[in-house]
A and B are shown apart, each in its own frame.
Chain A
Amino acid sequence: AQTVTQSQPEMSVQEAETVTLSCTYDTSESDYYLFWYKQPPSRQMILVIRQEAYKQQNATENRFSVNFQKAAKSFSLKISDSQLGDAAMYFCAYRSSGALTSGTYKYIFGTGTRLKVLA
């Protein structure tokens, strides 16, 4: 079974600085998707960035980028020029590219990292 591990319960960063959130996963599959979701106090999970495992190029979305190391099964999120609005819980998630035998596509989430941004 696949697992996702986030070993940093909480991180802090000064406004305008850069921070990296860590995520490792375990799978025997070769093709899958990895995601970072942000959950602010409003509770809604918001997709930050997505990476397809077959793509070697690291995904980038404005100030957010990932370092995807497939062999090491590592998927870290770098936030540049941190802003107060970045403060939230960040969840790393895994999803198989194909359906389970039941036809289900399910996401497996880590336990989250709480990011605090200091003014």
Chain B
Amino acid sequence: DAGVTQSPTHLIKTRGQHVTLRCSPISGHKSVSWYQQVLGQGPQFIFQYYEKEERGRGNFPDRFSARQFPNYSSELNVNALLLGDSALYLCASSLSPGANVLTFGAGSRLTVL
């Protein structure tokens, strides 16, 4: 079985641009969460989606948005990029929001210049 897949693996953007990151969960997993991991820090919660609905968001500005599709894949969008948005963006999936096994992808490394 394929694990959680994320694309792109690396990307470079300039300030003010927009970025879209993509995530495909493990087959059968209906919940997707997004985390931001700044260099030298632990992951920080951004969003959780379940059955195409947002179940919650962390302390991130409105420049961050996401959605989940009928096939349970998900996109994370960040507008008006700032230097501080440079980070590893991790997607994780689980069978349901409350399932206590969270499986992570390898992340998308975003560099903002």
Q: Which residues on A are within 8 Å of B, measured CB to CB?
A: 4, 33, 37, 42-47, 50, 52, 91, 93, 95, 98-100, 102-112
Contacts and interface: CB of A to CB of B under 8 A. Distances in A.
Top 4 closest pairs, chain A to chain B, by CB: A104-B56, A109-B42, A45-B104, A106-B45
Nearest to B92: A45
Contacts of A103: 55-56, 97
Contacts of A47: 101-103
Interface residues of B, number: 28
Nearest to B31: A105
Interface of B: 3, 33, 35, 40-45, 48, 55-58, 88, 90, 92, 97-98, 100-107, 109
Contacts of A99: 55, 97-98
Contacts of B45: 106-108
B56 A44 contact: no
A107 B102 contact: yes
B106 A42 contact: yes
A103 B56 CA distance: 7
Contacts of B56: 100, 102-104, 106
B33 A106 contact: yes
A104 B104 contact: no
Contacts of A43: 88, 106-107, 109
